[in-house]
Structure 1
Amino acid sequence: MVRSKPAAKMSPQATLTAVIKSAREAMRKDAGLNGDLDRIPQLAWLLFLKAFDGLEESREVTEDRFRPAIESPFRWRDWADDPNGPTGEALLKFVNGKLLPYLRGLSGTGAHDPRDVVAAVFKETTNRMVSGYLFRDVVNKVNEINFTSSDDIHTMAHVYESMLREMRDAAGDSGEFYTPRPIIRFMVHQVDPKLGEIVLDPACGTGGFLVEVLEHLAPRVKTAQQQRTLHSNLRGIEKKPLPFLLGMMNLVLHGVGHPSIARGNALASPITQIGKGQRVDIVLTNPPFGGAEEVSIQANFPAGKQTAETAWLFLQLVIRQLKDGGRCGIVVPHSVLFADGVGARIKEQLATECNLHTVIRLPEGVFEPYTAIPSNLLFFDKTGPTKDVWFYEIRPPQGRKKYSKTKPMRFEEFADCQAWWPKRVENERAWRVPIADIEANGYNLDLRNPNQPEDLTHRAPIDLLAELVQTEREIIALLEQLEEGIGDAQ
């Protein structure tokens, strides 16, 4: 008799992935959803409600004066828990006509009231599914996930981040709210937030920087009060409704019950109105660039530094937003380094008001295939004016010219830079430039590495053309000499 082997037990992540896959398969059959740009947000708000209900159940046990943020019959357990509950048109009528309007209309008392959090999440959230039966199938799948266990929440967070990567792939040109995880991790490590410090991302997208800071500091948390303070000190602002929803969900899945993310444009108020009480210890961000802000937004900035380019506006905002002694890591497009005019004036302000201590030159293709724009990382702190700027070139592994979607940058490739960081010695990748030299050059930061042979990518086109013409002349002169020599020999 041949005995069949017992089925291998699936890991929690594999089980969860299978559940999510089944839910997405059901969603693919619905005529109201068109691709992952529709399916993932739809799944995100259902996961949010399920996770939020799990947090509410935990609060009910641990808090003496517990008051539910979502009242019956709008809690997940009231309408979604029973797999044989409302379905078809009855379910759609409840969700579209009662549930979502109720959630949008919640109002709290401020101070991170969970009702305000829910209302903000659902302010622009809609149900896109048109089949109530398929909707019930998806709800039943989501209901299989257990959000009362911290292990399950942690596992779900990793599965969710994989969905965000898929969405980035589906978003194409709309994917500006994603930053490669190795870059985020490197920036967080080098800025090194401490417990008790307020960390802000004014263009937080799906919350990548805030989640990385959370994971960076989590091992240092020893008490419940430290954890509450850490959660409240992670702050973000996001302009667009879709990444705002995904970012809120991302933080909730990482255990932050009441994420401090505001829905709005961080550039929408005059920067002179940012008082000392609104300033933060750390800014970590990858603001959108290549954008064009309207005139009313530009008017929030000093007359001589108004521009439509979002990168320049965010750089001014960050300078103003930092406390004395505060620190910043920011992604900027390559044009920031060599720009003159308004750009040069903003770089002069940066060098005067802050210590721009490090410029990291990223290799080509780091953000491919979502954008081909070369990028750099600026690190500065508000400890006094700049004296010297260190430049460091990150290079692709040997044999690679650039990165791609299938061969992205890895965190390990920052290891040499991290080893160099505290010692600060010049080598073939690193060099130092006094601020006086930068000032004399019109605050141009697009400087060639003097410790490397000349690289064509860092030379002006007119210089390359002049050298090419000179080389051609020398070749012609040699050919003429050769011709004369052959003629004399005949």
Structure 2
Amino acid sequence: MSNNEIVQKLWNLCDVLRDDGINYSDYVTELVLLLFIKMEHENAQSGVMAGHKLPEGARWPDIAKLSGLNLLNYYRETLLDLSKSTDPLLAAIYADAQTRLKEPRHLEQLIRSIDAIDWFSAQRDGLGDLYEGLLEKNATETKSGAGQYFTPRPLIDSIVALIDPQPGETVQDPAAGTAGFLIAADAYIKARTDNLYDLKESQRSFQRNQAFIGMELVPGTRRLALMNCLLHGMEGDEAGVVHLGNTLGNAGTELPKTHIILSNPPFGTAKGGGGPTRDDFTFTTSNKQLAFVQHIYRHLKDGGRAAVVLPDNVLFESGVGAEIRRDLMDKCRLHTILRLPTGIFYAQGVKTNVLFFDKVSDNSEAATQEVWVYDLRANMPRFGKRTPLTRTHFADFETAYSAATRTDQGEQGRFRRFSREWIKERGDSLDIAWLKDDNAEDAADLPEPAVLAQEAVTELEGALAELQALLRELGEEVVE
């Protein structure tokens, strides 16, 4: 069986959950609580994992041998016991975990169906990859919540290849989600070091426990990330690879400076015009992406490199947006912007970009002398289930990016160079386009009205927050 076939079989088990009255949004959480126990057993049996992580009594055979009400009660107690585990990582994974299943026969059906899967085939590609496939399946089906901005795997793999993480470097994602960027960076290094066996034992230990760190605000998403990392052989520190916390709050100040930062921060504006609560940011803004940009270039080590996915409004927002872009270009060498195709994220109509930059020095001025822009948006196919985004769609960009000497392809080409002086004359706007997009004239390709309305609300909230901040500076009373 292929990985995709196994993923589809697992996804079909959601029918059982629905029959038990479990909400669509809770399918994956409910399924993975049980599935992780099975995968841990398979990894321990095959030697992929150095012994069991789960204690005796909480392993798959202990649960699978039971039936009826005894099974359901035992499973509930097992989840509770795991949440109180003395192993900090297990306690974090199963924190507040509880099943919403009410019918013992449904739990029995899930266990039988999971046992019937060809786990030998699953092991061939790695259980971590199978788990990743399930998360991606959830993203493509739900169209909302975590799936709304699920970063496509081909895009992640392309970004990681260009950033080229090396053994011994630290990699951070301050908006980790289910840890896709961190896992891809780990896989990239493992593929070039014979699964770390080319490294010394001290180096292997560093890669497993210290090389990667992330932060995630939502406990349920962090649970998925911790499971995902552990199934890929990434354990992290006592709190795991992905810590629970708000990067834009005090927790974010505790994240270390790192060699590499890869991230796709959540889109939108802080509700109610509020902004980050950190006091180490120079610029106050309610735009979450602009706040994350500040975190990222502040938490890069000198000589470090970053790639961050950002929506169009971050590139052209005036006022504080322009100030943050200016500060970024002064402190870092913003060398490349990739304009991504519309619709590759599962919220149709969202226009995004990848900014690639290197940290020069906190004290340098005008580190950015030129910016290269690759337009992968104009005249591209409409991506979706019929036309899936693949790694080959990034091949020409990767070639242009990695060329020993970059070439400006002119007004008819996709890759062009723009000087820092030219950008400054445009008010430091980085929303740069030159190709005529024939697809843009097709009304069917326009974003949904709800998407357009949300973009307008985001812009208005940002403008309102800036005006309120100005009034406060002038000592005027602000009506919220």
TM-score when scaled to structure 1? 0.77
Give the secondary-structure state (helix, strand or coil) at the position aligned to 1:376.
strand
Distance 1:218 1:56 in 2: 20
The answer for the alignment partner of 1:208 in structure 2 is: 180
Please, which of 66, 75, 79 is the counterpart of residue 100 of structure 1? Answer: 79
The answer for the alignment partner of 1:436 in structure 2 is: 421
- Equivalent pair of 1:188/1:213 in contact (CA under 8 Å): yes
Distance 1:61 1:391 in 2: 43
Task: Output the amino acid matched with 1:178.
Answer: F
The answer for the alignment partner of 1:75 in structure 2 is: 59
The answer for the alignment partner of 2:406 in structure 1 is: 424
The answer for the alignment partner of 1:390 in structure 2 is: 372
Deviation at 1:304, TM superposition (A): 5.6
- Equivalent pair of 2:340/2:375 in contact (CA under 8 Å): yes
Distance 2:377 2:437 in 1: 15
The answer for the alignment partner of 2:324 in structure 1 is: 346
The worse-fitting range, judged by mean Cα deviation, of 294-303 and 353-362 is: 294-303
Deviation at 1:282, TM superposition (A): 0.5
Q: 1:161 aligned to 2:132?
A: yes
- Equivalent pair of 2:176/2:215 in contact (CA under 8 Å): yes
Deviation at 1:357, TM superposition (A): 0.5
Task: Output the amino acid matched with 1:414.
Answer: F
Deviation at 1:94, TM superposition (A): 2.5
Give the secondary-structure state (helix, strand or coil) at the position aligned to 1:193.
coil
The answer for the alignment partner of 2:40 in structure 1 is: 52
Change (3 A) 1:293 1:279: farther
The worse-fitting range, judged by mean Cα deviation, of 437-446 and 340-349 is: 437-446
Give the secondary-structure state (helix, strand or coil) at the position aligned to 1:305.
coil
Distance 1:405 1:324 in 2: 42
- Equivalent pair of 1:198/1:234 in contact (CA under 8 Å): yes
- Equivalent pair of 1:24/1:39 in contact (CA under 8 Å): yes
Please tell me whether Structure 1 or Structure 2 has the larger radius of gyration of its CA atoms. Answer: 1
The answer for the alignment partner of 1:463 in structure 2 is: none
Q: After the TM superposition, which residues 14-163 of structure 1 pair with which residues of structure 2 at under 5 Å, given as runs?
A: 16=6, 20=10, 23-29=13-19, 31-35=20-24, 37-54=25-42, 70-77=54-61, 79-82=62-65, 85=66, 87-96=67-76, 98-107=77-86, 115-143=87-115, 152=123, 154-163=125-134
Deviation at 1:133, TM superposition (A): 2.0
Q: 1:413 aligned to 2:388?
A: no
Q: After the TM superposition, which residues 253-332 of structure 1 pair with which residues of structure 2 at under 5 Å, given as runs?
A: 253-257=231-235, 259-269=240-250, 273-274=253-254, 278-292=256-270, 298-301=276-279, 305-332=283-310
The answer for the alignment partner of 1:403 in structure 2 is: 383
Give the secondary-structure state (helix, strand or coil) at the position aligned to 2:318.
coil
Deviations 1:416-465 (A, max 9, x none): 1111112311002222222123223321112343xx5799979xxxxxxx
The answer for the alignment partner of 1:230 in structure 2 is: 207
Task: Output the amino acid matched with 1:263.
Answer: L
Aligned residues: 421
Change (3 A) 1:170 1:21: closer
TM-score when scaled to structure 2? 0.78
Distance 1:217 1:453 in 2: 39
Gaps of 5+ in 1: 1-10, 108-114, 459-490
Change (3 A) 1:12 1:406: closer
Give the secondary-structure state (helix, strand or coil) at the position aligned to 2:143.
helix
Task: Output the amino acid matched with 2:416.
Answer: W
Q: After the TM superposition, which residues 362-373 of structure 1 pair with which residues of structure 2 at under 5 Å, given as runs?
A: 362-367=340-345, 369-373=346-350
Change (3 A) 1:378 1:59: same
Deviation at 1:91, TM superposition (A): 2.3
Deviations 1:33-54 (A, max 9, x none): 233x322221211121223345
Change (3 A) 1:162 1:216: same
Distance 2:171 2:313 in 1: 27
Task: Output the amino acid matched with 1:75.
Answer: R
The answer for the alignment partner of 2:470 in structure 1 is: none
Distance 2:50 2:141 in 1: 41
The answer for the alignment partner of 2:462 in structure 1 is: none
Deviation at 1:101, TM superposition (A): 1.9
Task: Output the amino acid matched with 1:348.
Answer: R
Deviations 1:367-419 (A, max 9, x none): 2x424121111000112511111111114667x3x333432322212111111
Deviations 1:450-484 (A, max 9, x none): xx5799979xxxxxxxxxxxxxxxxxxxxxxxxxx
Change (3 A) 1:353 1:218: same
State the identity %.
Answer: 29
Deviation at 1:348, TM superposition (A): 1.1
Distance 2:325 2:125 in 1: 41
Gaps of 5+ in 2: 362-366, 442-480
Distance 2:274 2:181 in 1: 29
Give the secondary-structure state (helix, strand or coil) at the position aligned to 2:354.
strand
Change (3 A) 1:41 1:405: same
Give the secondary-structure state (helix, strand or coil) at the position aligned to 2:140.
helix
Give the secondary-structure state (helix, strand or coil) at the position aligned to 2:388.
coil
